[in-house]
Amino acid sequence: MTGQRDATDETDLVDADAATVPETAATLRNGRRDVAEEVERRLERIESVEPDVHALVAEPGRADRLRAAAAALRDRYPEPRDRPPLYGVPVGVKDIFHVDGLPTRAGSDLPVEELTGAEGSAVAALREAGAVVLGKTVTTEFAYFEPGPTRNPHDPDRTPGGSSSGSAAAVAAGETPLALGSQTIGSVLRPASFCGVVGFKPSYGRIPMDGVLPLAASVDHVGVFTRTVAGARTAASVLCDGWDGDDAGTADRPVLGVPEGPYLSQASAAGREQFAAQVEALGDAGYEVRRVDPFDDVEALNDRHNRLVAAEAALAHADWFDEYGDRYAESTADLVREGRDVSVGELADARESRGALRDRLASAAAAEGVDLWVSPAAPGPAPEGIGDTGDPVMNLPWTHAGLPAVSLPGGRVDGLPVGLQCVAGFGADERLLAWAGPMAAALDDAFGRRPPEQS
């Protein structure tokens, strides 16, 4: 319990009318609002909700830093016609990304000087596009399962999900319209679902991972959180290598594939019921739905991916764990110890299986005429308590294959948001987000959520 608000009243913590990325950028670029005014508005929002949400890593001097950044940006781009696409747009950055001028702690107790590094390509790209780093967002320890203090803005007694907990909650709470996260199993799609925002994870490698503390390099992905699909497309155009806005494919509705069988049975009864309602709503909107069972080996797949993560985490943390093992949380320490028991052959097989699964899913989609897979973005709504970030099992196969995925808000269960996960073929990121806009609008029509931007 927060002791400060009624946990059943989310109106103060969820800003459903907050400006989207495209709206914020347009307002700042054309001068209808000065970037200094935008900073003050965000600082006021942080002061209002942070005592309850705890989405941001504490930063002494945040206000002075942001005011100086706003002044520098205004001086650099005095003419509206010269302003870059994200001019003045605030962005939260998960605290496993190195950001010049801010420490990286990764939710851990390790000495901060051990975790230093050069600012990576993703943060640099956002800055070059004019974005202002609002601050670091809370992560679970080293982007695994040990949670931080962040709470779900829709119900502070529930988890926002992990490991990108702070990024999802900050967008939901209106502290920022855009935030960076990462996904190794389900750390973008799941918290997006729990917090009722859009989460986008591109194809593996489409956004460079340099300047980001690794968990499992073979399956680590950079991802983004926004309020709308339009915002995700704007962010992707800046962040994704080789983004081609004209390569979005046909505007026709994609044929949807429902992955039935043991994979879907991993969702809760309530989650499956809401997913059925989402699929029905899309069917009513004119989408063709085909039912396929591409995961008859889902338990073995889950185990293989988790062993891969453990093995690569052990490699990434080898020196730190030898020196500071007693400072690791139990769950993270157990992961490293498990990874040290994974043989070289098992690790090689797990890495090889990524491409094999990608090919198998592509073949299944082609055989059944499926353009886009749809499934629950999480087993159900956010669990109670903040000691457990929820189960990423619904995201795991798609992450293992490195496929682009987006979570769209898709109604509520017991008053809490649940998302629809949409997954395209490898490299089809542009088509995925082009398709996702009309699908989000159909879900909004069916379930009553109507954000300012839907395309």
Q: Are the CB atoms for 258 and 421 separated by under 8 Å?
A: no
CA distance 433 to 344: 38
Task: Report the catalytic residues.
Answer: 94, 163, 187
CA–CA–CA angle 409, 452, 195 (5° rounding): 30
Please state at what angle helix 35-53 crosses helix 21-29, rounded to 10 degrees.
150
CB neighbours of 37 closer than 8 A, spacing ≥ 6? none
Q: Which of 9, 175, 182 is nearest to 94 (CA)?
A: 182
How far is the first Cα of the chain from the last one, in angstroms, to the nearest whole number? 37
Q: From residue 199, how far is each of 54, 180, 289 by CA, in Å?
A: 20, 10, 23
Beta strand spans in 219-269 (E): 221-226, 256-259
Amino acid in position 164 = S
Q: Are the CB atoms for 141 and 329 separated by under 8 Å?
A: yes
CB neighbours of 89 closer than 8 A, spacing ≥ 6? 21, 24, 25, 28, 130, 131, 132, 177, 178
Six-digit token pair at 324? 């500071």
Q: Which of 207, 177, 197, 190 is nearest to 147 (CA)?
A: 190
Q: Are the CB atoms for 127 and 101 separated by under 8 Å?
A: no
Q: Which of 186, 127, 133, 180 is nearest to 162 (CA)?
A: 186
Beta strand spans in 280-369 (E): 289-292
CA distance 402 to 3: 42
Six-digit token pair at 212? 């980001």
